[in-house]
A and B are shown apart, each in its own frame.
Chain A
Amino acid sequence: MALKDKYDVVIIGSGPGGLAAAISAKKYGAEDVLIIERDVELGGILLQCIHNGFGVEIFKEDLPGPSYAQRFINEAMLLKVEALLDTMVLDITPQRRIFASSKINGFVDIQARAIVLAMGCRERTRAQVRLPGTRPAGVYTAGTAQRWVNVEGYMPGKRFVILGSGDIGMIMARRLTFEGAKVERVLEVMPYLTGLTRNYVQCLLDYDIPLQLQHTVKRILGHQRVEAIEAVRVNEKWEPIPGTEEIIPCDTLLLSVGLIPENELSKKAGVQLDALTGGPVVDNNFETSVPGIFAAGNVVHVYDLVDWVTEAGLAAGKSAARFALAERRREIRHIPLLAGHNVRYVVPHELDKQTLMEEEVRLQFRVKQPVEEPVWVEVHSENNLITRKSERYVRPGEMVTIVLTPRHYEEVERATSLTVSIVER
Chain B
Amino acid sequence: METTEKMICITCPKGCTLEVTHDGQTVLKVEGSGCKRGKDYVERELKDPRRMVASTVRVRGGTHPLLPVYTSAPFPKPRIQELLAELRKIEIKAPVKMGEVVLADALGEGIDILASRDMPRMTG
Contact = CB atoms under 8 A, between A and B. Distances in A.
B partners with A? yes
A196 B13 contact: yes
B56 interface: yes
A63 B70 CA distance: 9
B54 A51 contact: yes
Contact of A200 (B8, B58, B63): B8
A64 B10 contact: no
A69 to B, nearest CB: 7
A198 B13 contact: yes
A186 B98 CA distance: 34
A358 to B, nearest CB: 57
A43 B99 CA distance: 17
Interface residues of B, number: 26
B55 A178 contact: yes
B93 interface: no
Which of A56, A63, A205 has the most B CB atoms < 10 Å from its CB? A63
A51 B69 CA distance: 9
Interface residues of A, number: 31
Contacts of A178: 55, 84
Given A67-B98, A198-B10, A201-B8, A150 B118 contact: no
Interface in B1-29: 8-10, 12-13, 15, 17
Nearest to A48: B68
Nearest to B118: A70
A152 interface: yes
A70 B114 CA distance: 14
B66 A150 contact: yes
B19 to A, nearest CB: 15
Interface in A8-46: 40-41, 43
Contacts of B9: 198
B6 to A, nearest CB: 11
Given A153-B56, A198-B13, A67 B117 contact: yes
Given A70-B117, A70-B118, A152 B51 contact: no
Given A62-B52, A178-B84, A198 B15 contact: yes
Contacts of B68: 50, 64, 66, 150
Contacts of B54: 50-52, 64
B10 A202 contact: yes
Contacts of A70: 98, 116-118
A162 interface: no
Contacts of B65: 152-153
Contacts of B10: 197-198, 201-202
Interface of A: 40-41, 43, 47, 50-52, 56, 62-67, 69-70, 150-153, 178, 196-198, 200-202, 205-206, 304-305
Interface of B: 8-10, 12-13, 15, 17, 51-52, 54-56, 58, 63-66, 68, 70, 77, 84, 98-99, 116-118
17 contacts: A52-B52, A52-B54, A52-B70, A56-B12, A56-B13, A66-B68, A69-B117, A152-B66, A153-B56, A178-B84, A197-B8, A197-B17, A198-B9, A198-B10, A198-B12, A200-B15, A201-B10
Given A65-B116, A198-B9, 15 more contacts: A40-B63, A50-B55, A50-B70, A52-B54, A64-B54, A66-B98, A67-B99, A150-B66, A151-B64, A153-B64, A153-B66, A201-B8, A206-B51, A304-B13, A305-B13
